[in-house]
């Protein structure tokens, strides 16, 4: 099994994991009610995802990805992170 590269970490899969962790940290420290989390959760996850995608591209000096692609990866990564959180927190599919 080969090691992960920096380019792989800035894909949707890499950003989604990071976004999930940071979003959960924010909600455990800031959110006062579940209603606040439900209302603003997707927006916060997308903002964190876009910030992570663009930030990683700029900090790592990647020339393979332009900023628009990094932003798109961040949007999809943020939405993926929110979906993973909803799936885990609602225990969907558990009888």
Secondary structure letter of residue 54 according to DSSP:
H
Residue 80: name the closest of 6, 23, 4, 1 by CA.
23
- The answer to whether residue 4 sits within a structural domain is no
Number of structural domains the chain divides into: 1
- The answer to whether residue 94 sits within a structural domain is no
Domain span including residue 60: 9-86
Whole-model pTM: value is 0.71
Each residue's pLDDT tens digit, 37-67: 778 888 888 888 888 888 877 777 765 557 7
Return the pLDDT at 1: 64
**25 burial level (CB within 10 Å; 0-12, 13-18, 19+):** exposed
**pLDDT range class, residue 86, cuts 50, 70, 90:** low
C-alpha to C-alpha distance for 7 and 56, rounded to whole angstroms: 9
- The answer to whether residue 63 sits within a structural domain is yes
- The answer to whether residue 76 sits within a structural domain is yes
Compute how many other C-beta atoms are within 10 angstroms of the C-beta atom of residue 77: 28
- The answer to whether residue 82 sits within a structural domain is yes
- The answer to whether residue 2 sits within a structural domain is no
């Amino acid at each position: 099994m080969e090691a992960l590269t920096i380019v792989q970490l800035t894909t949707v899969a890499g950003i989604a994991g990071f976004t999930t962790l940071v979003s959960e940290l924010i909600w455990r420290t800031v959110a006062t009610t579940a209603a606040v989390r439900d209302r603003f959760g997707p927006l916060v996850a997308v903002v964190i995802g876009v910030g992570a995608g663009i930030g990683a591209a700029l900090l790592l000096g990647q020339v393979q990805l332009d900023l628009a692609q990094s932003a798109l990866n961040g949007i999809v990564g943020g939405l993926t992170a929110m979906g993973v959180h909803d799936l885990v927190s609602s225990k969907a599919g558990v009888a």
